[in-house]
Structure 1
Amino acid sequence: MSLTQDFEQILETALPTDPSFQRIEQAVIDRCICDTRRYALEGSKEAFLFSAMRLLALPDNGHTRLIPNDAISVLPLRFVSIGTALHLIGTAPETIAPRGELIAVNGTPLSQIEAASKRFLAGTRQRKRVIGSILLAWPYALARLGFSSKDDTTEYRVQDENGQITDFKVENGYTVPASTLYPRNEHGKADPAWKPERFVEIKDWQGLGLSILLPSFFDPGESALPKAISGAAEQVSACSNKALLIDIRGNTGGDFLQTMPLIDAISENASRQVVVLVDKFTFSAAIVFVAILKHRLGRRLKLIGEEMGDALMFFAEGGLLDLPTSGAVVRYSSAFHDWGNGTSDETTPAEIARQIVPAGALDLDWEWTAKPTAEDAHGAFYQRVLKSLSN
């Protein structure tokens, strides 16, 4: 097999199926196709993948993109976007490196590298921050962007929480499979292998209210999520006089239709106060969950956190293409969503079109971005937020 077979899959399935490409000038698409085809014919795997990233990023629809994680190797460093900064929060085993905010790579300020990489990354500003972290550990990407070093190392400059700046180098030949440090669905946790243990976690904070943690709406078995949502809905209905804190930080999406019973239960009480915690790792169906709640609750819903990873107008559904030669994955879309204005079109599945509402803007009531702490994990932050609802 050759890279041309991977390339043909993109041309034959992703581009003609995905309506988001209809908004892009054909000449622009053709130029990117030409570059990607050239690298495929040459058999240059990394060049092909990087060019395909550019091609699939053209519509700026984050649901449509090439995901290189399973196909490439990276330096043994895990970078994650926290707030507006990029942090080194972990390494591969047996790798020692100082933790902290990334300031520069090979002497180039991070802001300059991020500006150059934007056109290879799909989606909103926040989604680019999430999926762009891998580029800082990918030697080929740094070289293609024009920021490689003059020798066979990559030098990083980081600043710790005390303001101390440290420079360190990593040999470019010392790489690990990217998927071991960068999960396909990036959640922002320190442990790249993190997976939710359950779909719903509810806790009653005595007189303050209930907290509901919803880490994911993706259920391959299609039975555990509906069961968990049903149980949560019953508990919320039974505590109709209590305020709610709903945490969907790190929820990368799934099937929002399965969550409708919980949305209904939350919406039953006309006076209930609800706060939802969100971040840049909140995507797709999780944002739809928030949009429907906002439409129903209005001012009774407060949003705390940071701008989410997707806009309210996007293209979704579609499918995945496993590219057999390169090992990469292509995510492509097939349906239009507009949860800001509440509109759909002929590509929107009927069951989704029936639920679409005009949520307007999902503006934050309290902007809060911080690295997860032990205090947060033990609920002190939850209690502080719930107390604020009664003030």
Structure 2
Amino acid sequence: MSAVIVDVLRTASGRGKPGGALSAWHPAALLGTVIAELVDRAGIDPALVDDVYAGCVSQVGQQTQNVARTAALAAGLPVTVPGTTIDRQCGSSQQAIHFAHAAIASGLADCVIACGVELMSTHPIGSAAIGHDPIPGQVHGRFPGLTHQGVAAELVAARFGIGRDAQDEYAARSHARAAAVDWGDEILTVAGIDGVHGVDETIRAGTTVERLATLQPAFRTDALAAQHPGLDWAVTAGNASPLTDGASAVLVTSEAFAAAHGLTPRVRIVDSVAVGSDPVEMLSGVIPATERILDRQRMRIDDVDLVEVNEAFASIPLAWLAAIGGDGDRLNARGGAIALGHALGSSGTRIMTTLVHGLERSGTRYGLQTMCEGGGMANATLVERL
């Protein structure tokens, strides 16, 4: 049984710091607002939703106690609609789409909301582990070079020979591409800290390579430099994704459900995969994930019209392009997380929202999205415009 995506919706990105446009929201209320609008636009009985799968990474404070369930209740869904919260790090809401795909393809569900939220302004990255090391001694012993994602981005850049200039050029291009797009049709305008918020707060039109070149390395310390003498330390705040607040949601149904309820599918989920990769390098899993999904479908990268590789750091899509090949103009053609932000738990469904609209605007057929994830993992999703 085929799973189709009927609708996609996101908030505009807010800067993930105090005073950011979305920083006054409760995460469950923000996600609930998006869910409510998604269901209302579909015009279906909310009781027909079989489940709500929500991605959220920093499950601490207001993002605890199963934010999927509290968001569903905040959205006004019937109490009979359950929800569960997923942490596959940055790919959490992309995994929500994958679980929806699996549930529908297997016949266990007919209508699922896959969604995600992260308010990094009030729930900073790493806040769930404050005062504790989530990595046990067995893992440290097995992987003695285990480090954080900033150093991992430097390791990926070093392996693929991606220098500072290339990363800054890529970042400037991301902002330029995003600034050229009219995003209104995929954004739900919500209340902001200073009125209404319907424009991505993270896009910096006019960003230049020259300005980016003045920024200092974000992750270099004397201790890390001694530990990794071969690194260039080229990752900066300018060629990495910004801290971001946001929420997004995708309505996934079976083809039969869509037909029975007068819904027009926008894309079909062709395939979805997840892979593990080296947890030290951590962020290069997008390469084997892409290879696996293309191999499963007997496709080449040139068969894919639009590709979204999450821009957690500029080195990741650049490494992907070096390894996989293909047309760079098809890669993050409307800009990516460097410009649009990376609200961790929301990013998977945010990217799917952008990909679906990109396929429709370009009139093209196949879209691929892939996401690197903490711990050394990656998801990949292939969709076909209908």
Short-chain TM bin = under 0.3
Which TM-score applies when normalising by structure 2? 0.27
Q: Which has the higher contact order (CA 8 A, sep 6+)?
A: 2
Which TM-score applies when normalising by structure 1? 0.26
Query: Which protein is bigger by CA-based radius of gyration?
Result: 1
